[in-house]
Structure 1
């Protein structure tokens, strides 16, 4: 055998030996797989992984005190992607196709909050301000990825394209569409545990198209969802609206069991009564094998709607209050806005909280930019967040304090000289002196209330002193919350030595309290600043001779199917202003004279069939040419049921405001619908109810 053949045989032997070794290794592995670990691997292959997805429950209805539905739900359709069924391979192409279909649907809303333009003009740009929540969320995302948070829009898009493996040949506009959805999926933690809401408010045409092509888009499902349906154009500030959970609030809502794509109350009753209105989400269980293939799916927990909230609000009274307030504001040259509050004096239930200007909840999102820039601030809930000097309406508090502290009594008579000259350096005038050049002459307490005599209350206030006056104001609830459930209520500010000293801690430039401050506070000027709701509740306490209830908007909560009442709001006494019966009789008599034959509001309530008590106020506003007009009132005089406060910014006088009070009384006492006129031009009234 020559050398060449020996080499060939040697190579063949090595090859055969290698094959034998490989064969032995394969046999050994098969033996291990099938004999030694066979049962273990079989169990793993057969093991099922279980995941749970959430199906959102609808919110409960909001109704007024008479059972009229104010907010309910309407069925809308959207597109949802379920992770277990969604094919990850080729998902960018699927997303682009879906986005194009959604954009072709006129009213459909794509879930895409990436604040970057589509790049149609050669470069990407940011579409939101740096202080917007969308921009802030994007910065957090970049930080989590280890990217520079101050990158340009182009740089962010370049990084996102790389992250989501979008080919270079994909155009800028198409890339933006894909990136927007992929980014949103990451933001909402799209996973086995969180389905992704791709679009909302889609048309039935798109529903049909997706249903017909469901095999082309595995995991994409038509999502039926209940959206809020506001059924009144009134009470926008009271009802409020719902919205998605902001990223910065997610930890709080997550602890309370919310899903990431849930909608929650943002303002008004929607926010205040969230715990009752939110439903119990349902659950769907999905089982997959170890390869991710779906084996089964079942609805394990049925979604249950939220409970229904019944408000103390009377929507018909609210309608009249809003319309009358708007009409009166528009009729007064220079009026800037206002508020009207009506409250049940027997329990603190709020019957109306009207604002002007206001807005329409149905178009709120579309109108937001315009509303937020409006100089008349229609988004401000003036009834609970606007604070105003009470003017002469405060004189009732001064009268109660003076009578109870003994500095005046029923027989006290003070001569109004027109100019109050007790202090050398500060000598204010009675309002009548500025018009006529003389004072009211001799006044007792009821006459001083009737004529709104500044001089009488200057002297009463001086005799009382600032501490006593401040103490009584606080008893009437001024400078504190009323008990209202809505967020945004202001505490207001009480004038007095204690409040001034506290304010000086934050602003040392404020001067010390003086006697001049006391007499200004006594007529409702100076540091006094209260909300219309506080003034209405103050009037309610006067009407009930000192019993003041917590103001509240919730009346009861009904089960989701109205089968039972699950909660009833109990009225609670907030404070009791202890005063003699004679004190209350005197201030009641004085307020009755205000609307009587010679009172400051006589022209408004002339021939009115119900005896009404009231007090007008004209409050000076620094830096403006026109005073605010204020009127507080309760009725009926002999059996008080309702208290009202109306404030008109720039209304000039309380008498200009009183017609709104009269219109609310008309609706409350005489009109079943709350909108019918019950008087003719002669002032004659027909009782309807």
Structure 2
């Protein structure tokens, strides 16, 4: 049977079919090999540059390096804001994968607090490029050791050393220095809008308030970078190139921190503000606002509990009362009103008026609205000098009425009221120097004659900040020379130890150029009598001083009295007591210091403001100031860029 089958097989045909199939297979192999060669050629030759770049990028990383933030010093070289090294636990976002899983595994080795996790998630949401995001700040030695043993289990997680901003004087300087805190979404948008985001790829914190915010560009510096080769776990195995960052500039402020401490302690637990400037250039020697808060709480992110306590505090510690506190300037404006009245010739040095304790608009009926003097029985016959010395309200009601709101607002704006003072922090308000247009826009009512009357004694619609009152006092003692109050004294480059001092812009406004020397001296001399005259409102506080000074008290009403109602401080709660204001200068000839204080609910400027200013002037002009200088700690710049204490 099998032999019969073999007889019918066609071997030639089978060989032909095999050869055909082999040929087709060979052709397929040739075609596929050609495709392979063409693809290899495309990858290795045509797209060589592109794939080489991708390959390098997989193992080569450009890591930005944050510059060291500049330090802040006072006028005597004392450190006010410094950088302290701390150990942190950080992650590289692109290396860690699922963050929730990572946190769960880390909890086995390091304890987390709820607030720390919340703060980390906020930072992790907006990472800047290839950069570490901090999980935990200020690790202890025990935490570092425990994690280091198990670090191999956490690729992309490492212990890093960073510089933490620290404010040695805490709440005493918060409203001046401000603070730095974590960069958030708002900061990123602002940096991107300003074209500065690229310079912050390695930076964790940014200035939020005060000097830290205003001079952010100087303090921050310019970031550097290093080009490194990394392995598959993201660990650096080789440095290829390094461009060092340019550290931020150190700032020298005009502040005297010992004076700042003294003024802060003198205010104590009272709500208020004190400003001390040098009228020769309007440099700010002290600027205190109480109550305050510790800025160090914000550096690593303040807890929700602590922040809510600050927000709900009825004393409003978050507000810088020196520049944001709005008060009626009260009788502190009478010397300025006198200059305007004298120059506009509504009064002269010889003008005498008989004060009976009540003033009414001329020509009005006997039972019409009356404005009282603080002395119910009046001051008798007074001229402009006596009116300032004794703070006679009725005299200045008439001056304001004769000047009118248009001329008052024009003159007082020249003194700086209703204007930004020019101080070098962003947290400032213009307060309000009222005009006809302002009232119509705000209240939809015209300006009445009666609205002008209380303006004469710094009441009514007129409000001001302590820094504005201090600036106006400086304008007065400088006979019309206008300068912005400023905190920055010099910029110090730690790399070269070179110092660039700040030039002060001085202006002579046309309106003040027309004021005669005599008219300036009338107000200045009257302020001398306020402190040292026989009837001066500040004479008790300045009795027996070894120097001559000038000043002016002010008492700002918190609420209005009804007709025939008398003010009785003994029956009022503290929150309804009048604010106490005082502005002064010393010495009388060639003043070196202008000081302004506002003590909320202090029940009178002469009562609380004058003694405060007396203490400050004694401190500055007598032995306490000399003792202070002996205890000053100076900071010396080294050529290496390191700043050390001496």
Q: What is the TM-score with the length of structure 1 in the denominator? A: 0.77
1:288–1:376 Cα change, 3 Å: closer
- 2:594 corresponds to 1:643: yes
Q: In the aligned structure 2, how far is the partner of 1:415 from the partner of 1:454?
A: 12
- 2:471 corresponds to 1:537: yes
Of 256, 259, 263, the match for 1:321:
263
- 2:373 corresponds to 1:430: yes
Aligned to 1:346: 280
- 2:186 corresponds to 1:248: yes
Q: In the aligned structure 1, how far is the partner of 2:617 from the partner of 2:119?
A: 50
8 A contact 1:53–1:195 mirrored in 2: no
CA-CA distance at 1:81 after TM superposition: 3.4
8 A contact 1:48–1:290 mirrored in 2: no
Aligned to 2:289: 355
Q: In the aligned structure 2, how far is the partner of 1:295 from the partner of 1:19?
A: 49
Q: For 1:103, what is the secondary structure of its paired residue?
A: coil
CA-CA distance at 1:610 after TM superposition: 0.9
Write the deviation string for residues 325-371 of structure 1: whole angstroms up to 9, x where unpaired: 126x3xxxxxxx21111111011111111111111223453532211
Describe how 1:327-338 pairs up with structure 2 within 5 A: 329=270, 337-338=271-272
Describe how 1:32-47 pairs up with structure 2 within 5 A: 32=38, 44=51
- 2:431 corresponds to 1:492: yes
- 2:530 corresponds to 1:594: yes
Of 156, 162, 166, the match for 1:219:
156
Higher mean C-alpha deviation, range 213-222 or range 552-561: 213-222
Q: For 1:431, what is the secondary structure of its paired residue?
A: coil
- 2:213 corresponds to 1:271: yes
8 A contact 1:440–1:453 mirrored in 2: yes
CA-CA distance at 1:674 after TM superposition: 7.5
Q: In the aligned structure 2, how far is the partner of 1:536 from the partner of 1:221?
A: 52
- 2:625 corresponds to 1:672: yes
Aligned to 2:634: none
CA-CA distance at 1:648 after TM superposition: 1.1
Aligned to 1:409: 348
1:221–1:538 Cα change, 3 Å: same
1:474–1:661 Cα change, 3 Å: same
1:574–1:503 Cα change, 3 Å: farther
8 A contact 2:89–2:160 mirrored in 1: yes
Of 470, 477, 491, the match for 1:557:
491
1:453–1:29 Cα change, 3 Å: same
Q: In the aligned structure 2, how far is the partner of 1:650 from the partner of 1:310?
A: 35
* Runs of 5+ consecutive residues of structure 2 not aligned to the other structure: 561-574, 630-646
- 2:542 corresponds to 1:605: yes
Q: For 1:231, what is the secondary structure of its paired residue?
A: coil
- 2:569 corresponds to 1:630: no
1:109–1:293 Cα change, 3 Å: closer
1:378–1:451 Cα change, 3 Å: same
Q: In the aligned structure 2, how far is the partner of 1:51 from the partner of 1:35?
A: 28
Aligned to 1:449: 388
Number of aligned residue pairs: give it. 585
Aligned to 1:681: none
- 2:512 corresponds to 1:504: no
CA-CA distance at 1:218 after TM superposition: 3.5
Q: In the aligned structure 1, how far is the partner of 2:508 from the partner of 2:452?
A: 24
Of 523, 540, 545, the match for 2:457:
523
CA-CA distance at 1:248 after TM superposition: 3.1
CA-CA distance at 1:419 after TM superposition: 1.5
- 2:196 corresponds to 1:258: no
Write the deviation string for residues 551-580 of structure 1: whole angstroms up to 9, x where unpaired: 111111100346111x32111124543321
8 A contact 1:412–1:445 mirrored in 2: yes
1:504–1:6 Cα change, 3 Å: farther
